[in-house]
Amino acid sequence: MNEINKVKLSRIRRTAGMREMFGMQIPAPSKFIWPVFVVEGQGIKEPIGSMPNQFRYSPDMLIEDLEKVVEMGIGGIMIFGVMNDHARKSSFPDYPYREDGAVQKAIHLVKMNFPDLLVCTDVCLCAYTNHGHCCLFDDCGKMDIDKTNALLAKIALSHAQTGADCVAPSAMMDGQVCAIRNILDENHFQDTLIMSYSTKFASSMYGPFRSASECTPQFGDRRSYQLPANDIHQAIRESLQDEKEGADILMVKPALFYLDIISAIRKDTKCPLAAYNVSGEYSMLHASAKEGYGDLYPMASESLLSIFRAGADVVLSYWANQYDRLFKK
């Protein structure tokens, strides 16, 4: 028998115990962050039609569903504010930094009930502006980056003052991380983390999210400030720039369609790296399973493993509240 015939690769995966011992460690629930949507009011738990098993919550109802998520060991949540009343949106919104805002109320309640849970907050404008963009515009219709960053910083500070552990700017404005780090430090919130959406693509996979958060742009698109899918060099530069500005955690969004970007950035930074398994990636598996093309939770767990294999340390995913069904032995 020649040497090559002595090699039987299947030996090492012959039993379940061997497969578990020699394979990749299953990601712990503490490696997941669950994105949640909050609205004003009480007693509200509104299903999101395009995202099965996800809801718009009033802060009090979020606490009820968080209990079982915390019991599973999920590491944190990312809170998104939603304004269903479009008449209250404006071109220069003040609601997102108000003390009585839905996000601020949710932060307070979550920290009061689950003090050890990592509470992250999305810092952006698109859900609050009447035009649905992530920025402010000047009188000539041009993006006003300086004013946008000042407003983003004000929102981030309001979240930190209410008790958020981590603020996450997603507007993709040049200099947003620096503006937020400065205002946090000036106000004695040096320990508040910044998780930057540092490499966020102008993706076609955000449809269900925009429906859930009522933030579809009313004109144009976001390609002038979000990244093109065909330029890996810009993608890497964006994350490395945010690291220089003081981001504690970098993020790639979306995740499944950009595994190569996750791997490339992982090689160039020692920062913790998050990946956002976005709404379209979540909903397309539900749609596929509904058509009988595969079993839902095995497909979901396989997709999540690919994100960790690519190099992510943490995954933001709508699957997080279903972790107990993802990785059963």
Q: Model confidence at 323, in pLDDT bands (50, 70, 90)?
A: very high
CA angle 184, 190, 194 (to 5 degrees): 70
Peptide bond preceding 254 in cis form (omega within 30 of 0): yes
Active-site positions read 200, 253
The residues spanned by each domain of the chain are 28-322
28-322 sits in which CATH class?
alpha beta
SS3 286: helix
Q: Tens digit of pLDDT for each residue in 290-299? A: 999 999 999 9
Tell me which amino acid residue 25 is. Answer: Q
Give kind and range of the element (H or E) at residue 275.
strand 273-277
Give kind and range of the element (H or E) at residue 251.
strand 250-253
Tell me which amino acid residue 126 is. Answer: C
Whether the predicted pLDDT of 29 surpasses 80: yes
Give kind and range of the element (H or E) at residue 78.
strand 76-81
Q: Which of 263, 278, 239 is nearest to 311 (CA)?
A: 263
Q: Tens digit of pLDDT for each residue in 151-204? A: 999 999 999 999 999 999 998 889 999 999 999 999 999 999 999 999 999 999
Give kind and range of the element (H or E) at residue 159.
helix 145-162
Average of per-residue pLDDT values in the chain: 92
Instruction: Give the number of other CB atoms < 10 A from CB of residue 191.
Output: 9
Q: Tens digit of pLDDT for each residue in 236-281? A: 999 999 999 999 999 999 999 999 999 999 999 999 999 999 999 9
Using alpha carbons, list the distances in angstroms from residue 124 to 19, 50, 97, 319: 43, 22, 11, 23
**Residues 224-228: contacts with CB under 8 Å, at least 24 apart:** 224/143, 225/134, 225/135, 225/143, 225/171, 225/172, 225/173, 226/172, 226/200, 226/201, 226/202, 227/172, 227/199, 227/200, 227/201, 227/202, 228/201, 228/202
Q: Tens digit of pLDDT for each residue in 64-115? A: 999 999 999 999 999 999 987 777 887 877 888 999 999 999 999 999 999 9
Q: What's the burial of 175, exposed, middle or buried (CB within 10 Å: 0-12/13-18/19+)?
A: middle
Using alpha carbons, list the distances in angstroms from residue 142 to 128, 146, 217, 228: 18, 12, 15, 20
